[in-house]
Amino acid sequence: MGRHQKKPLRELTQEETVELKRVSTSETERVERIRRARALLAVADGQSFTRAARTARMRSSSGVAAIVQRFHERGMEALDTVPGAGRHPIYSTYERDLILAEVQREMESTPFWSLATLEQSLRRASNGAPKVSAKTIGQVLRDAGYTWHHGRHAWIRNGDATHEREKAKVA
């Protein structure tokens, strides 16, 4: 038998039990939610955190303990993935602003430019712009509302006045 549980699971309500059973047998729920529901049901049935982790195919009893703690704090929302999980942005808002300022400067000086050209320009900049790859620049542009237009071979900001002027020239 495992060691004593510091924070054992409280007794589940009828509604919680029904919902946990529904989620644990679902074929359309996310795998994490299914595993968390199975772990909570196993603990509710009297299994140790270690045994519940095995039952739910989780890595450790500490993961089950964390789910139990979250269940006490948030109820059924404990099944959901916590916001903020995953990789965080490497560059700060200030650095993104520097990249976008360089994009604006480059767009004003030449009508045709590529991510590689912008990357070289950023590397030469003396304003403290970060040394970033073309892929990162493309992501910053997409996040800022720019889209790549294959026919024009150009990045255009959605609703940009330059884009409107180009449409007027064509018409």
> Tokens for 139?
């992501």
3-class DSSP state for residue 56?
coil
125 confidence band (pLDDT: 50, 70, 90): confident
Domain chopping of the chain, boundaries? 14-79, 93-170
pLDDT of residue 85 exceeding 60, the answer is yes
Backbone angles phi, psi at 135, to 5 degrees: -65, -45
> Strands 146-149, 154-157: parallel, antiparallel or unpaired by DSSP?
antiparallel
- If you search the block for the tokens 């029904």, which residue do you land on? 18
The overall pTM is greater than 0.85: no
**pLDDT (0 to 100) of residue 39:** 95
pLDDT of residue 167 exceeding 70, the answer is no
The residues, any chain, with a CB within 8 Å of residue 149's CB and separated by 6 or more, are 155, 156
